[in-house]
Amino acid sequence: MAPKKASPTGPAPHVDDVVATLRGLATPKTLDGMARYAIPSDNAFGVAVGDMRDLAKRLGRHHDLAEALWQTGFYEARMMSAFVDDPKQVTPEQMDRWMADVSDWAVCDTLCFHLFDRTPHAFGRIEAWADRPEEFVKRGAFALLASVALHDKKAKDEPFLRALPWVERAATDDRNFVKKGVSWALRGVGKRGGELRVAAIEVATRLSASPEKAARWVGNDALREFRKKAG
């Protein structure tokens, strides 16, 4: 998928200035509400995602700033890394390194949905992460697959067909964030239509009859959505 055109930018702002701005945008209500969404708040300020995205638009794309923000370890700074990095400069090594640091679904999904899926390395990382033992690395594989399925309108069917066995294999993982990511990926592939929809329904049907509880959940979750769309 071709990266989105970078916003016009001047010199990169200093990471300390961006972190100070994020602190100024924080509210106790947002911080307190993070627990409701299963987002750890012990290393967070309490900034709404909309405010982070607005700030990122003002800052533009800065690869070095994204890395500096990531290294701070703050939740909002890492979210901002996904919004301000330049997909053209992202490497597979960086993707592996950042994903290994992830400890919550929000940063995982934001990286995949707003940055990693815009790189040419997406399917390589999906394959590399699909069998990893770490919860959010494995979720990242399927969040990334779902993101590419939604955003890359020009992609051929073949890479998605090749990914469906990874989906089916991972569906037996009963960790909540993994199985939800697997279902998201399966539904995303099926929504592309045509041969992919047929293949995704076949996978979902097999999973729905599995002796494994997690696999049945994934299969039934996907089939509900496919039937709803058909209706």
The predicted structure's pLDDT at residue 228: 86
Average pLDDT, the chain: 94
10 Å CB burial of residue 12 (0-12, 13-18, 19+) is middle
Give the residue among 49, 57, 165, 184 at the shortest CA–CA distance from 117: 184
pTM above 0.85, yes or no: yes
Across the range 137-158, mean pLDDT stands at 97
The predicted structure's pLDDT at residue 229: 67
- Asked if the model's pLDDT at residue 5 lies above 70, the reply is no
Can you spell out the DSSP letters for the chain? -PPPPPPP--SPPPHHHHHHHHHHH--HHHHHHGGGGT---TT-----HHHHHHHHHHH---HHHHHHHHHH--HHHHHHHHHHS-GGG--HHHHHHHHHH--SHHHHHHHHHHTGGGSTTHHHHHHHHTT-SSHHHHHHHHHHHHHHHHH-TT--HHHHHHHHHHHHHHTT---HHHHHHHHHHHHHHHTT-HHHHHHHHHHHHHHHT-SSHHHHHHHHHHHHHHHHHH-
- Asked if the model's pLDDT at residue 4 lies above 80, the reply is no
The predicted structure's pLDDT at residue 12: 81
Across the range 141-154, mean pLDDT stands at 97
Which tokens go with 72? 């701070």
- Asked if the model's pLDDT at residue 87 lies above 90, the reply is yes
- Asked if the model's pLDDT at residue 17 lies above 70, the reply is yes
Interatomic CA distance for residues 217 and 229, integer angstroms? 19
The predicted structure's pLDDT at residue 148: 98
% residues pLDDT > 70 (the chain): 94
Residues 73, 45 contacting (CB under 8 angstroms): no
- 205 within some domain: yes
* Total tally of structural domains belonging to the chain: 1
- Asked if the model's pLDDT at residue 231 lies above 70, the reply is no
**What confidence category does residue 41 fall into, taking pLDDT thresholds of 50, 70 and 90?**
very high
Q: Which residues, at least 6 apart from 39, have a Cβ–Cβ distance to it below 8 Å?
A: 75, 104, 105, 106
Write the CATH number for 199.
1.25.10.10
Interatomic CA distance for residues 205 and 221, integer angstroms? 10
Q: What is the pLDDT of residues 97-121, one digit of tens each?
A: 999 999 999 999 999 999 999 999 9
- 158 within some domain: yes
- 148 within some domain: yes
- Domain of residue 175: give its range: 126-231
- Asked if the model's pLDDT at residue 10 lies above 80, the reply is no
- 39 within some domain: no
- 192 within some domain: yes
- 63 within some domain: no
- 81 within some domain: no
The predicted structure's pLDDT at residue 6: 43
Interatomic CA distance for residues 181 and 144, integer angstroms? 9
- 149 within some domain: yes
